Amino acid sequence: MKFETFSTADSFLQRLDPRVKLLSSLALIVVIALCTTFAAACGGLSVALLLVLAAKLELKLVIRRLLLVNGFVLFLWLTLPLTYPGTAAFTLGPLDFSREGIMLAALISIKTNGTVLVLISLLATSSVAALGQALVKLKVPAKLCLLLLFSYRYIFVIHQEYLRLVRAARLRCFKAGTNLHTYRTTGYLFGMTLVKSHHRAHRVRQAMVLRGFQGQFHSLYDSSVGKTEIGFALLMLTAVAALIGLELLSRISS
Amino acid sequence: MHISEGILSAPVLFGGASLAVAGTLIGLKKLDLDRIMEVSMLTATFFVASLIHVPLGPASIHLVLNGLLGIMIGWACFPAIVVGLLMQAVFFQYGGLLVLGVNAVNIAFPAVLCFYLVRPLLAAAKTRPLAGFIAGSGSILLSSISMALSLAFTDIGFLATAKITVLANIPIMVIEGFITMFVVSFIGRVHPELLWGAAK
C-alpha cells in the first residue's frame, strides 16, 4: 500500500525545508478554519490552488483525493439544508430547504477543500520522516517526535504482517461478511498482530540499547533555511495577512 | 470519526487544542524513554487497525479500537492518538491541523476513561470478555457523543446533524465492541502480560 502519494513529485515545494512548510501550512489553515466570510474562504481556496499548481502534482490524484475526503462535507449537505433553522429558500414537497443551511454548507465546503489542498501541497509533499525531523528542530517535545518517527518507521512493516495473516486466512477459505465469525476472525488476526508487534518492539529496543540509544534520532537529511525558504515564508506571511484583511473588510461591510 | 477542518468555531477549536496539549503532556510525562519503542509500535499497529475494513451490510467500516488502546496503555494513548491523527492528515488529508486537537480529545479522552473504569474487570478471566466489549463499544459511544457536542457547541443549528452522527455510530459501537472483546480474550489466552505490561 502506498501512503505518500504526493511526496515523490519534483518541484521546489518538495525541496523546501519542511519547517517552513509546516509553519506556513499551520498559519494558512488557522486563518482558513477561523474565517466566517465567503470572501476570505474563497481567497484561502485560491491560495491553496496556487500552491497545488506550484507543487506540480498529478491533478488526477489530487482530484481523487478531494473526492475521498469530501465524505463528511457531503453528509453536511444532506443534513444542514433540511435541519438548520432559518428561512426557507425553496420547498420540495414536505421538505423545506433553509437558506442559512445551504449557505453554511457552501461555506464549509470551500473551507474544508481549501484546507485539504494546503495539506496536500505543503505537508504531503514531505515525507513523515522529514516532518518528524522538522518537529525536532522546532523544539516539539522530543518523546513526541520519537513516537512519530518510530511509528512511521513500523507502519509499513506491521501492515505487511497483518496482510500476511489475512492472506493465510483467505487460503483457508475465509470470506468476510456481516457476521460474528468475521468479527471473531478479524479480532484474532489483529490480536496476533499486536502480539507480534510487542515482540518486535522488544527486539528493536534491545538492538537500540546495544547501539547506545539515548533518546536522539540522528537524521541523514540535512536541510537548512536559505534564501528560497525566507522568500517563501514572506510570501506566505503576505498571503495570510491579505486573508485576514479580506475577512475583516468583508465583516465590516456586511 | 473525524471532523473536517473548517466546520468548528474558534472557542471549540482552541478549547480542544488546549485539552489535547494538556493530555499529551500528561501522557508523555508517564511515558519514559524505555517504553517509547513499545508505545511507538502500538501506535503503528493501531494506525494499521484504522486501515482494516470490516463489512457492514453492503458498506464497510474501518476500525478505531481506541478503547483497546486506552486499556492497554492508559494516558500514553493521548500522544499515540495525536501522532496517529497527524499521520492520517499527512497521508490521507483526513481531519486537519487546527481541528486535530478536538479530534484527538474526542478519541483519546474516552480511551483514558476506559483505562480507569474498565481495566479492573480485565484481571479476572471471567469478566475479561465483558471488559473488552464495554471498552470497545463504550469508547465509540463516548467518542461519537463528544464529537456531537463539539458540533453542537459550535452552532446550535448543528444539533440535528450531531444527533444523526451519534445514531449513525450505533452499528459501529456493536462491531467495535465484539472485535475488542475477541482481541482481549485472544491476548488474554496467548500473551496476557501484553494487556497490562505497557501501562503504568
Nearest to A69, CA basis, from A122, A18, A28, A108 = A108
- Under an 8 A CB cutoff, do B45 and A186 touch? no
The answer to whether residue B35 sits within a structural domain is yes
Residue B84 lies in a domain: yes
Q: Using a CB-CB distance cutoff of 8 angstroms, which residues of chain B are in contact with residue A41?
A: 6
Query: Which residues, 6 or more positions from A232, have their beta carbon under 8 angstroms from its beta carbon?
Result: A16, A20, A24
At residue B157, the pLDDT reads 86
Provide the 3-class DSSP secondary structure of residue A37: coil
Interface of A with B in 220-249 (CB under 8 A): none
Single-letter residue type at B28 = L
Q: Confidence class of residue B197 from pLDDT cuts 50, 70 and 90?
A: low
Q: Report CB contact under 8 Å: B41, A144.
A: no
Q: What is the ipTM of this complex?
A: 0.94
Range of the domain at B83: 10-197
Q: pLDDT tens across B7-36, in order?
A: 999 999 999 999 999 999 999 999 999 899
Whether B2 is in a domain gets the answer: no
Pairwise CB contact (< 8 Å): A162 & B52: yes
3-class state of residue A91 by DSSP: strand
Asked whether residue A126 carries a pLDDT value surpassing 80, the answer given is yes
Among B36, B47, B96, beta carbon nearest to A155: B47
Chain A residues 179-198 within an 8 A CB cutoff of chain B:
180, 182-184, 186-188, 190-195, 197-198
How close B34 comes to chain A (CA, Å)? 8
Shortest distance between the Cα of A177 and any Cα of chain B, in A, equals 6
Q: What percent of chain A has pLDDT over 70?
A: 99
Q: Which helix (H) or strand (E) holds B106?
A: helix B100-122
Beta bridge partners of B55: B60
Q: Which amino acid is at A246?
A: L
User: Structure pTM?
Assistant: 0.94
pLDDT at B30: 94
Rg (CA), chain B: 16
Within a domain: residue B5? Answer: no
Domain-embedded: residue B48: yes
Q: What is the pLDDT of residues B30-71, one digit of tens each?
A: 999 989 999 999 999 999 999 999 988 888 889 999 999 999
Closest CB to A187 among B25, B99, B182: B182
* Closest chain B residue to A195, measured at CA: B191
Q: How confident is the model at residue B200 (pLDDT cuts 50, 70, 90)?
A: very low
**A195 → closest Cβ in B83, B175, B187:** B187
pLDDT tens sequence across A159-170: 999 999 999 999
Contact across the interface for B44 and A120, Cβ inside 8 Å: no
A177-203 exposure pattern, b = at least 16 Cβ within 10 A, e = fewer:
eeeeebbbbbbbbbbbbbebbbebbee
Testing the interface with B: which of A62, A115, A181 to mutate, by most B Cβ within 10 A? A115
Residue A31: Cβ-neighbour burial (10 angstroms; 0-12, 13-18, 19+): buried
The total number of structural domains in chain B stands at: 1
State residue B124's pLDDT score: 85
Assess whether pLDDT exceeds 80 at residue A254: no
Q: Are A192 and B186 in contact (CB under 8 A)?
A: yes
Q: What is the CATH number of the domain that holds B35?
A: 1.10.1760.20
Give yes or no for B166 touching A (CB within 8 A).
Answer: no
- The end-to-end CA distance of chain B, in Å, is 28
Integer-rounded Cα radius of gyration of chain A: 23
Residue B180: the pLDDT is: 96
Which chain A residues are closer than 8 Å to B176 by Cβ? Answer: none
Place of cell 486499556: B71
Put simply, whether B172 touches A (Cβ < 8 Å) is no
- Binary contact (A69, B164; C-beta < 8 A): no
Rounded CA separation B175/B187 (Å): 18
> Looking at the domain assignment, is residue B1 inside a domain?
no
State the Cα–Cα distance between residues A240 and B18, nearest whole angstrom: 23
The overall average pLDDT reported for chain A is 91
Give the residue from A74, A151, A154, A210 with the most B CB atoms within 10 Å of its CB, the best one to mutate: A151
